Chain A
Amino acid sequence: MLVHTAFGRAEQIARHWAASGCPIVIHSDKSVPRKTYAAFKAKLSDLPDVRFAKRHRCEWGTWGLVAATQEASQIMLAEFPEVRHVYLSSGSCLPLRPVQELIDYLTERPHTDFIESATTADVPWTMGGLDHERFTLRFPFSWRKNRYLFDRYVALQRLVRFKRRIPNGIVPHMGSQWWCLTRQTLSAILEDPERASYDRYFKKVWIPDESYFQTLARLYSRQIESRSLTLSKFDYQGKPHIFYDDHLQLLRRSDCFVARKIWPFANRLYDAFLTDVSSAMKRTEPNPGKIDRIFAKAVERRTRGRPGLIMQSRFPVEGRENGLTCAQYSVFEGFTDLFENFEAWLSKTTTTRVHGHLFAKERAEFSEGQTVMNGALSDSATLRDYNPQAFLASLIWNTRGERQCFQFGPRDVQDIEWEIAKDHNAQISVITGAWAVPLFKSNRNFSDIRQEAALLQQIESEHLKTLRSPWTKARVRIWSMAEFIEAPMEPLQTIIDEIGQQSLRGLAEVPKMSDLTGFGQFLQNLKNQGMHPYLMGDFPVSHGQGEAPLSQPKPYLVR
């Protein structure tokens, strides 16, 4: 049992093991003050089968931990000849199941060594980008205290292509520091005639406590179970996860024999597992899977975060967002201009939430005229334009689980266009030139109309450039108005299919298209005034000169 802090708990654990008849050898870190150590020793003096090993300085990732383990193991093997399995544990380990269950488990498997042991090529959890190199370079400098020298020295060795020879062709293996070895295997490792050369070699390996026994056990073990009986989880920085009171149920359900690291003040855990014998569990195999999943998720949360969430402790620089928004949404441009009841139709046809022009100059036109949306998002244009990106990300985040659709067009505030274009969650459908329809319908002086048409056309053509740029990640579909009205059902069906939330009966109803009688002439008038409307495509002038149209019925009802 390796101890370096929380001696009260260590004592408690030692007594727990001893109560079930397990002899214990304790190693305490040399950096512990002599007085503390003496007091600790004195407290355990009433236990007959407790021994104390010579103290080594145990800094993380250094040889001291291995030396301490060797020392303690030798005492254990020499002084307690009846011992068959030796379990390496620490002062912050907590037995989760009655010790007798562990004893029975090991008695049933008398020749099995439980030690996690994998070759470097097979482990994903190496730290600092050093996997095989930890066995072929030298590491005289501390990673914790002297990171600069550590890194420089590694770089230097790489530069001169320095490579250590691995003695006797052993194959380096790595794994959890916490093992349980049989007397045969452990003594074979410690009594190996080549031990001096192995020790010399591993002294300069990085983190030898995770590789010394793991490698050498492979030489002697009759039967290796490559897993640790100690439940021990590490986060992405190689720091051990700590268990607190609220992990009680989780630990109970894990069926593991021992867990670390336990927070020394987790009274509920210590009380529950050390005193509560009645909670004895079934004879099941340890099952750390549930805990594994939770901790894997935690790493994911810490390193990748929740996509589309911008908050006080997640604020990615450009390019690291992993999605500007958290869910797919649809942007429609020109549809409300061309169709009279598009929004109502869309919300009826799909089960999405359909907003008006969210980026309109006056206010954010939330669905159903709401002035405030989920998350107390206000419809104030000033607030929205203060940080349009946050507005959009918040809207999509706040309504998770319900697809959002909104209208956009050249009359809106354009600041958001790049954010939408770069967002792979956006589905953008554009009918170009449809902005001219409201002008066509309006009762305004023609010179004003001409002026506004020119402006809108300019804005939309800039916008189209954005949508067609190589940085655009949204799924963009663009039709000119003339193209669209020729066969409107097909594009509509495509868009609805892609949204994938169609209500059951297919496109039973169709949106009602505006009456475009005379639109061709309207465009011609604009041309005659010196403007060049081109985004809507070609509309023959003949339509709506009062004559009956040649082929299409009026109004343009989609069928």
Chain B
Amino acid sequence: MGNGMEALKHLRKAYRMRWKRRRLLYRAFRKRRQLKPVTNRTAQIAADDILVFSTVRNEMVRLPHFLEHYRALGVRHFLMVDNDSDDGTRAFLAQQSDVSLWTTPASYKLSRFGVDWLTWLQRQYAHDHWCLTLDADEILIYPHHDTRPLRALTEWLDSHGRRSFGAMMLDMYPKGPLNAQTYVTGEDPFSILNWFDGGNYMIQRKDDLENLWIQGGPRARQFFADRPKRAPTMSKTPLVKWRRGYAYVSSSHSLLPRMLNHVYDDQGGEKTSGILLHTKFLHTIVEKSAEEKHRQEHFANSELYDTYYDGLTQNPDLWCEGSTKLISWRQLEAMGLMSKGNWV
């Protein structure tokens, strides 16, 4: 009896999730006309190429290093949406021979933070490809990334029947006030942003999508200590072997169908996972925060985040006695922030 009820509940949830996924796909479909192609080089995409999908706005400072990092890992094509940049981002991206670019002036927030646009592009171009969905301030690393290109990882995931790969965001920050050191475009951002919070993360498993909700890090510590529930989500699943019917639910934190969120082991073992080094806290953040506060485009209930933006515009020092200095991926692995699992 109990089992029957349980099964029925399960079915109902599955049905609800199915419709949710369809709604998301339909949203993406309706938003398709917001995208104007600038350069469409998708004809270059070969069958087993690894793709990057990203929505950007005024990211000229970060993009050269971003592209360089992912090219070095073996990404073959970038599909980018420029959300009304005015700092030369569009012209820069249009010149890159491995970038296909669309542009839109429409609202980032109403497009669920760019996800609707990317879902539409992914539906057309990502089917059967391993694809990375990223922001311009996210630099993916994973165990052995210095000796094994992404393709080694994706082939290994394929051979183990995995279609998704988790990589938690790690907020990287400098020692001292955020704008004390000026980042020069194209250089390694982690020569400035070389500190992080090593062990203050709080994890809950979400019942509906079965994903892990990770919070913590310097922002939770500094700006959300009085309301931890509002602290930014750090969990991400950026690498997915895409199928047409897949859809990200909120940013790249969670997906549908739900099995893609099972990037963790719940029987005590460790699955292989990576880290997204977050380059948000370059010196530009101080200025940008004032603008973001004004635009109210980054959070669902933006006004709740006013004090957070105010905090950032005051050019704070995120460093503390307990901060850890970044040395290598092996360090992050040993600290348990990511795991080799059985990929040795």
Which residue of chain A lies nearest to B225 when distances are taken between CB atoms in the complex? A380
If the complex has contacts A376-B322, A380-B225, A382-B228, are A312 and B214 also in contact, measured as CB distance less than 8 A? yes
Are B268 and A304 touching (Cβ within 8 A)? yes
Contacts of B339 in A (CB 8 A): 301, 305, 311, 313-314
Which residue of chain B has its CB nearest to the CB of A237? Answer: B160
CB distance from A316 to the nearest CB of B (A): 5
- Considering only CB atoms, which chain A residue lies closest to B229 in the complex? A386
Q: B270 touching A246 by the CB < 8 A rule? A: no
How far, in whole Å, are A312 and B226 apart by their CA atoms in the complex?
A: 24
B4 in contact (CB, < 8 A): no
Q: Say yes or no: is A374 at the interface (Cβ < 8 Å to chain B).
A: yes
Q: Compute how far the CA of A244 lies from the CA of B344 in the bound complex, rounded to whole angstroms.
A: 9
A374-414: CB near B (< 8 Å → 1, else 0) gives: 11111010110011001100100110000000000000000
Does any Cβ of A come within 8 Å of B263's Cβ?
yes
Provide the residues of chain B in CB contact with A376, threshold 8 Å: 197-200, 218, 221, 320, 322-324
Report if A508 contacts B (CB, 8 A). no
Q: How far is the CA of A83 from the CA of B342 in the complex (A)?
A: 40
Nearest B-chain residue to A240, judged by Cβ: B159
Cβ A374 vs Cβ B338 within 8 A = no
Q: How far is the CA of A386 from the CA of B337 in the complex (A)?
A: 20
Give chain A residues whose Cβ lies under 8 Å from the Cβ of B151. Answer: 265
Is B235 a contact of A312 with CB atoms below 8 Å? yes
Binds A, one of B41-49, B142-150, B284-292: B142-150
Which residues on B sit within 8 Å (CB–CB) of A351?
none
CA–CA, A277 to B40, complex, Å?
49
**Which of chain B's residues has its CB closest to A248's CB?**
B147
Tell me the minimal C-beta distance from A439 to chain B in angstroms: 31
Q: Chain B 139-179, CB within 8 Å of chain A: the 1/0 string?
A: 00000100111011001100110000011100000000000
- Decide if A372 touches B321 in the complex (CB within 8 Å): yes
Q: Which of B201, B205, B226, B344 contacts A394 (CB 8 A)?
A: B201
Q: Decide if the interface of chain B is mainly helix, strand, loop or mixed.
A: loop
The bracket for how many chain B residues form the interface is 35 or more
**Cβ contact of A320, chosen from B264, B267, B338, B341, cutoff 8 A:** B267
Query: What is the bound-complex CA distance between A294 and B340, given in angstroms?
Result: 12
Within 8 A of B (CB), among A283-301: 294-295, 297-299, 301
User: In the complex, what distance in Å separates the CA atom of A420 from the CA atom of B81?
Assistant: 50
* Residue pair A314, B265 in contact (C-beta under 8 Å): yes
Verify A375–B197 contact, CB threshold 8 A.
yes
Bound-state Cα–Cα, A487 to B155, Å = 66
Residues of B within 8 A of A390 (CB): 201-203
Q: Which of A263, A298, A373 lies in contact with B340, CB distance below 8 A?
A: A298
A320 with B225, Cβ < 8 A, contacts A265-B149, A312-B168, A397-B336 known: no
Chain B 257-310 residues near chain A, CB threshold 8 A: 263-273
Q: Does B131 contact A (CB under 8 A)?
A: no
Residues of B close to A237: CB separation below 8 A: 160
- Per-residue CB contact flags for chain A residues 299-319 toward chain B (1 = under 8 Å, else 0) read 101111110011111111100
CB distance from A377 to the nearest CB of B (A): 5
Q: Nearest Cβ in chain A — how far from B302, in angstroms?
A: 22
- For residue B51, CB closer than 8 A to chain A, the reply is no
In the complex, A378 Cα to B198 Cα: how many Å?
Answer: 12
Within A356-381, the residues touching B (CB, 8 Å) are 370-378, 380
Is A322 interfacial (CB-CB < 8 Å)?
Answer: yes
Task: Knowing A372-B320, A376-B322, say if A397 contacts B147 (CB, 8 Å).
Answer: no
Question: Which of A237, A314, A374 is most buried by chain B, counting CB atoms within 10 A of its CB?
Answer: A314
**What 1/0 flags go to B322-343 for Cβ under 8 Å of A?**
1110000000000011111111
Q: Say yes or no: is B212 at the interface (Cβ < 8 Å to chain A).
A: yes
Complex interface bits, B192-222 against A, C-beta within 8 A gives 1, otherwise 0: 0000011111111100000010100010110
Could you tell me the distance between the alpha carbons of A94 and B339 in the complex, rounded to whole angstroms?
28
Interface residues of B in 46-96 (CB under 8 A from A): none
Cβ-based interface call for A235 (8 A) = yes
* Alpha-carbon distance A322/B336, docked complex (angstroms): 16
Q: Which residue of the partner chain, among A299, A302, A383, contacts B221 with CB atoms under 8 Å?
A: A383
- Is there contact, CB below 8 Å, between B200 and A375? yes
Q: Which residues of chain A are near B265, meaning CB under 8 Å?
A: 302, 305, 313-316
Evaluate contact between A313 and B264: CB separation under 8 angstroms. yes
| Bound form: Cα–Cα A246–B329 in Å | 14
Residue in B closest to A366 when the chains form the complex, CB atoms: B322
B212's closest neighbor in chain A, by CB?
A: A315
Cα of A387 to Cα of B202 in the assembled complex, Å = 6
Cβ of A34 under 8 Å from chain B: no
Q: Of A241, A314, A375, which is within 8 A of B264 by CB?
A: A314
- A398 with B273, Cβ < 8 A, contacts A310-B203, A312-B338, A320-B268 known: no
Contact A312 B200 (CB under 8 A): no
Q: Is B33 on the interface with A (CB-CB < 8 A)?
A: no
A11 within 8 A of B: no
Chain B positions within 8 Å of A236 at CB level: 342
State A320–B212 Cα separation when bound (angstroms). Answer: 17
A312 touches B273 (CB 8 A): yes
Q: Are B199 and A374 in contact, CB atoms less than 8 angstroms apart? A: yes
Q: Would A301 and B203 count as touching, CB distance under 8 A? A: no
**Is the Cβ of B336 less than 8 Å from the Cβ of A235?**
no
Return the chain B residue nearest A299 by Cβ.
Answer: B342
B205, closest chain A residue (CB): A315
Contacts of A101 in B (CB 8 A): none
CB atoms of A377 and B148 under 8 A apart: no
Contact B271 A302 (CB under 8 A): yes
| CA gap between A311 and B271 in the complex, in Å | 10
Residues in A with CB closer than 8 Å to B336 are 306, 309, 311, 314, 397
A245 contacts B200, C-beta separation under 8 Å: no
- Is B344 a contact of A305 with CB atoms below 8 Å? no
Q: Is B270 a contact partner of A320 (Cβ separation < 8 A)?
A: no
Shortest C-beta distance, B140 to chain A (Å), equals: 13
Q: How far is the CA of A377 from the CA of B265 in the complex (A)?
A: 25
CA distance in complex: A480, B198 (Å): 40
Q: Are A244 and B322 in touch, CB under 8 angstroms?
A: no
Indicate whether A378 sits within 8 Å of B270 (C-beta atoms), given known contacts A242-B156, A312-B168, A313-B265: no
Q: How far is the CB of B320 from chain A (nearest CB, A)?
A: 5
> CA–CA, A321 to B268, complex, Å?
5
Selected from B147, B200, B321, the residue in CB contact (under 8 A) with A246 is: B147
Contact of A294 among B198, B267, B273, B344 (CB under 8 A): B344
Least Cβ–Cβ distance between A241 and chain B, in angstroms: 7
Q: Which B residue sits closest to A370, measured CB to CB?
A: B321
Q: A295 to B118: give the CA distance in the assembly, Å.
A: 39
Report if A387-B341 is in contact (Cβ < 8 Å); known contacts: A242-B156, A265-B149, A372-B320: no
Q: Within 8 Å of chain B (Cβ to Cβ): is A145?
A: no
CB <8 Å contact, B199 and A301: no
Given A315-B264, A374-B199, output 8 extra A-B contacts at Cβ < 8 Å.
Answer: A245-B147, A297-B344, A305-B265, A313-B270, A371-B320, A378-B200, A382-B225, A387-B203
Please report B residues at the A interface, Cβ cutoff 8 Å.
144, 147-149, 151-152, 155-156, 159-160, 166-168, 197-205, 212, 214, 218, 220-221, 225-229, 235, 263-273, 320-324, 336-344
Q: List 9 A-B contacts (CB under 8 A).
A: A244-B152, A302-B271, A311-B270, A313-B166, A375-B197, A375-B198, A380-B221, A387-B202, A387-B228
Q: Which 3 A-B pairs have the closest CB atoms?
A: A375-B199, A302-B342, A313-B273
